[in-house]
Amino acid sequence: MIAAASGLPVWFVQRELGAAEVAKAITSPNDRLGIALIGCGGMGQGDAANATRFGDILAVCDVDQRNVDSAAHRFAANGKTPAKYSDFRKLLERDDIHVVVQGTPDHWHTLVNIAAARAKKDIYGEKPLTLTIDEGRHVIKAVRDNKIVFQNGTQQRSSKRFHLTCELVRNGRIGTLKEVNVFVPAGLRGGPFQHVPVPKEFNYDFWLGQAPQAEYFNERCHRTFRWWFDYAGGPVTDWGAHHNDIVRWGIGLDGPVGIEARVVTPPLPNGYTTPSEFEATLTWANGVKQSIKTTRDDAWTGAVINKTGQRNGIKFIGTEGWIWVNRDEITASDKQLLLAPLPDKSVRLDVSYDHMGNFFNCIPSRKDPVANVETAHRSACVGHLIIIALRTGLKLQWNPEEEIFVGDGAAEANKHIAREMRKPYDYSFIA
């Protein structure tokens, strides 16, 4: 039977009732943690609001004073307003901050996470973990050297639908896995853009950070930062960061060994630099072929479903059937693939059904959350590999253990594992 409320099979719902540690809101003032929000845009404020179940927002930080003021007003409580900062390094000097919620644009993730780890703050950090493959190595070292708890914001790992799908795939429910088809919402395509004065409340140079100097457009910053290669990876690392994480979870390997990609809809001149539509094919060491395509079923454009008839989501295809999953549904080629319980000795994956709660549950125990730093790095690398293939136009081979390109085109591709950081916003900025 299928549980009506969730669309999940009853056997799975019953099995999981006691499997995930329940995250209970902390109400005692003496037990509530001190939380700082760094990056006060919409996603950052949303994450911080979620975190207030377990602690109090004592400080907020952003390079845009308008965002700082908005966050401080939103999280004022009990007659107290969070302290306001424009430089996260100053905020991290506070002893009463135990947890950092990091919601900055992608190109700032690495430096903020490293600095917070060195300050011994536990971190809930937005996805993707990094801007480049090399940055992930630095973040892992900082997290592990300083023994802090880190949770990446790939919250689909805390979804029952994705968890069930990955367990079924890992246990051979659809036979031998052969293909995975991923569909992600297309990105924005716009330009050319008009240069305008920088708002007086906005420290634009600090916002640019490690990225190259560039003239200011309204379309360059804040919500639309993700459509510029200098700061993010477009649709590859937007929804793609979530779905590729689930694919890697279902396959059970560190990363692909072969990557090729092509731009479907190229950027407009003097506009956003990430392609709004792309296609990629990844080959995994176990022979699985993964395709990734953009759809027009997305919140950015409001456009219609793509020609394949598939909506945003993931389809695992095996020798004995298929399973389709997204945030709204899970279906299969045969209902029995979902209805039949897994054996007691089947492969069991880490359980979390409250992503923020899982993070806070791990703080007292010092255990790793479901999306720990190594998991975040390996999943982020999948997106970075696609971006490198798109930007070089090369068909590439990857060694996921050594994290290096091999074979034809390796010399060129390996130049993209790291990017030059504009001074003073390199690693010395947080030394």
We report the CATH number of the domain holding residue 239 as 3.30.360.10
| 197 plus 139 within the same structural domain | no
Q: How confident is the model at residue 309 (pLDDT cuts 50, 70, 90)?
A: very low
Q: What is the pLDDT of residue 266?
A: 96
For residue 268, is pLDDT > 80?
Answer: yes
| 244 plus 315 within the same structural domain | yes
**Domain end: 106, 131, 155, which one?**
155
* Cβ atoms 97, 59 nearer than 8 A: yes
For residue 305, is pLDDT > 50?
Answer: no
Kindly report, residue by residue over 242-259, the tens digit of the pLDDT.
999 999 999 999 999 999
Kindly report, residue by residue over 334-351, the tens digit of the pLDDT.
999 999 999 989 999 999
Is 366 a member of any domain?
Answer: no
Is 365 a member of any domain?
Answer: no
Residue 126 DSSP code? P
* Mean pLDDT over each residue of the chain, to the nearest integer: 94
Neighbours of 156 (CB within 10 A): 22
Over residues 312-318, the mean pLDDT reads 96
> What percent of the chain has a predicted confidence (pLDDT) above 90?
89
Kindly report, residue by residue over 71-85, the tens digit of the pLDDT.
999 999 989 999 999
Q: What is the pLDDT of residue 235?
A: 96
Over residues 184-188, the mean pLDDT reads 93
Pinpoint the alpha helices (H) of 119-214: 133-145, 160-170, 204-208
Neighbours of 307 (CB within 10 A): 9
Q: How far apart (Å, rounded) are the C-alpha atoms in residues 417 and 128?
A: 15
| 71 plus 168 within the same structural domain | no
Q: What is the pLDDT of residue 3?
A: 53
Q: What is the pLDDT of residue 10?
A: 87
Domain count, the chain: 2
